[in-house]
Copies of this chain bind each other. A is one copy, B any other.
Amino acid sequence: MKTYLDCIPCFMTQALRAGRSAGLEDKQIKTLLDEVGAMIRDLPMENTPPETGAVIYQKIREITGIDDPFKKIKEKNTREALDLYPYLKEEVRNAKDPLLTAIRLAIAGNVIDFGVNRTFDLKKDIKQILKQDFSIFDYAAFRSRLETAKNIYFLGDNAGEAVFDRILIEEIRKPVIFVVRGIPLINDVTYKDAIMAGLDKVAEIVSSGSTAPGNVPALCDPGFMKRLRRADMIISKGQGNYEGLSEEPLPVFFLLKVKCQVIARDLGVTEDSIILKQQKNH
């Protein structure tokens, strides 16, 4: 997905929030906003939003000198999600269609997100998403692809959310490669966070090498991209991965909750929709 004009003020808001969450002082945040503001002029609108995100979080690392400012928040989110794990498993066990319930839960986990300007109430969101209608629902295609797929990649999004992804992977009952970011970016899931969430028990964990808060091919490790292009099924979580891959000719199924107006418009749905969408150009 390209950058829309509405993304530009949002980059500033994200920088402000990320700076605050990273514990920056007001003066440092002002410096961050100065730099992000000055960057807008050279921003290629053809770029995907996570590519700009990459620059913002690079600047935060430079200013703070801290590699993983969201470490504690991610650990807290993962602990909270692990506490819910037995309850989530029970929901799947009691479901008429356990796979679909696991998909819904994976989307519910996607509300754990500090990159978007929102607050969330996890338990409330889970209950709501368990009964919410999908706005795009390519479930038949998903099921049928899953039956034949031999090389399945699962693109993780946020830490904490990864616990919910684990539940979906457990329902897939096939070997899955769980993909994490190459470096810490906001609360995005890294190798360490995935281990803490127990993903190593259900999948092979691989880093995309991405330096952006979303798997943008140009910012992923070329070797990883080569392997990904041989996948016969890719399950992509969240907005960042959608923004990075929405125009790539890959066998992707996007699972996400729509958290901003720009992505809602891009998908032709309303904000707060839940989506299970098969990539069109593949």
Contact = CB atoms under 8 A, between A and B. Distances in A.
A6 B12 contact: no
A228 to B, nearest CB: 32
Contacts of A33: 5, 8-9, 40
Contact of A30 (B5, B15, B30, B34): B5
Contacts of A172: none
A16 interface: yes
Given A34-B41, A38-B40, A13 B5 contact: no
A98 to B, nearest CB: 42
A29 interface: yes
Interface string A22-54: 000010011001101111110001000000000
A5 B29 CA distance: 8
Contact of A5 (B6, B16, B38): B16
Contact of A37 (B5, B10, B38): B38
A26 B45 CA distance: 11
A15 to B, nearest CB: 8
A9 B13 contact: yes
A222 B38 CA distance: 34
Contacts of A9: 9-10, 12-13, 15-16, 33
A30 to B, nearest CB: 7
B8 A12 contact: yes
A6 B29 CA distance: 10
Interface string A257-272: 0000000000000000
Given A5-B26, A9-B12, 18 more contacts: A5-B16, A5-B29, A5-B33, A8-B12, A8-B37, A9-B9, A9-B10, A9-B13, A9-B33, A12-B12, A30-B45, A33-B40, A34-B41, A37-B37, A37-B39, A37-B40, A38-B40, A38-B41
